Amino acid sequence: MNPIDLRSDTVTVPTPAMREAMARAAVGDDVFGEDPTVRDLEELSARRLGKEAALFLPSGTMGNLVAVLAHCGRGDEVILGDQSHTFLSEAGGVAALGGVHPRPIPNARDGTLSLAELESAVRPDDPHYPISRLICLENTHNLCGGVPLAPTYVDEVGDLAGRFGMGLHIDGARIFHASIALGVPAERLAAAADSITFCISKGLCAPVGSVLCGTGDFIAHARRIRKQLGGGMRQAGIIAAAGIVALDTMVDRLAEDHRRASMLAGLIGGLPGVSLDWNPPPTNMVYFHLQPELGFDAKEFADRMQARGVRLLAEGPRRVRMVLHYWIGDAEVVQAAKATGESLTGPS
């Protein structure tokens, strides 16, 4: 039996409809701007996010990096959450490759950055300091539990950035999860942002890629930076085709992943030693802590689960993450909950 893979929604393989679209995709050399399918995906993405233009990129990591480099010069500063993916899990790319100084401030439990702390992190004009150029938000916020940021909050951060002449970028790797959970169009969630990235390769099931959206000028600049980083792809329509299917057909169904995350949380929340971070979970991620009296850590728990056919991620010494996605149905949720109960109490 195949393992039930709850490590991430990045493990999703393309659907038959995607494979069909990929096989039939009209392609050309996208570095010459001649791939019609990439252009279609970029136009569709810009429309969906309410921006003028968009750029197809190989990954979310490169999307965020290109965005930060397009907003900031060497020695400029980006203010971002201390739990953000860009700060913690993108190999320090903004500093290593862009000379951009990251200024982390604490993420609240709900993924927000306090407006007061944001404001006090903005540097005065003084030659001792880097120039504060950009604020980054993450929506949904992964490490905070897949929490969506409300549009009014994002607007407030956009206002603050504008008051200080700074830009606002959103890492919207899972912006459509936020949109579905809040019942608010993605375009509305991106309204206050100068730029936003979203991933087609996570819950939307496409095999590869992310899209950066912004003004026409910003995207033209970003296109040059993508080339500098080696991210210009030739007949990329083959993969962009799956992204079009993703945007057309896979967004509304994310509600099913959210429902199953609640179902899983409901089944495991009462088990001895389990302390859920959010109940119900806000979107498609179930994060929980293992209480110390269990006597084993998250790594040992992951091994026990794997022995029972369920894969998950240990996100810290006692923290565990399970992610719901297209290839996980109700039966798999029940199976995963059963394996959780056995792993907590049974033999290793």
Q: What residue ranges bind ligand TLP (CB under 6 A)?
A: 8, 10, 59-61, 85, 89, 138, 142, 171, 173, 199, 201, 210
- Give me the least distance between CB of 171 and ligand TLP, in Å please: 5
How far from chain centre, in Å, is Cα 210? 10
- Give me the least distance between CB of 178 and ligand TLP, in Å please: 11
- Give me the least distance between CB of 285 and ligand TLP, in Å please: 8
Evaluate whether 203 touches 209 at the Cβ level (below 8 Å): no
| CB nearer to ligand TLP: pick between 207 and 280 | 207
Report which secondary-structure segment, H or E, holds 233. Answer: none
Upper half-sphere CA count for residue 279 (Cβ side, 13 Å): 13
Strand 285-290 and strand 195-199: the pairing is: unpaired
- Give me the least distance between CB of 293 and ligand TLP, in Å please: 28
Place of tokens 């950066």: 212
**Nearest Cα to 287, choosing from 309, 318, 256?**
318
Beta bridge partners of 79: 103, 135
3-state helix, strand, coil in the chain (%, to 5): 45, 20, 40
Tokens, residue 186: 């993605």
Q: 39 CB contacts (<8 Å, ≥6 apart)?
A: 33
Residue 136, SS3 per DSSP: strand
| CB nearer to ligand TLP: pick between 243 and 344 | 243
| CB nearer to ligand TLP: pick between 37 and 283 | 283
| CB nearer to ligand TLP: pick between 122 and 139 | 139
Tokens, residue 147: 């929490």
| CB nearer to ligand TLP: pick between 57 and 244 | 57
User: Which amino acid appears at position 172 of this protein?
Assistant: G
| CB nearer to ligand TLP: pick between 210 and 340 | 210
| CB nearer to ligand TLP: pick between 10 and 335 | 10
Evaluate whether 145 touches 281 at the Cβ level (below 8 Å): yes
- Give me the least distance between CB of 173 and ligand TLP, in Å please: 4
- Give me the least distance between CB of 57 and ligand TLP, in Å please: 9
- Give me the least distance between CB of 60 and ligand TLP, in Å please: 3
Distance of alpha carbon 210 from alpha carbon 149, whole angstroms: 20
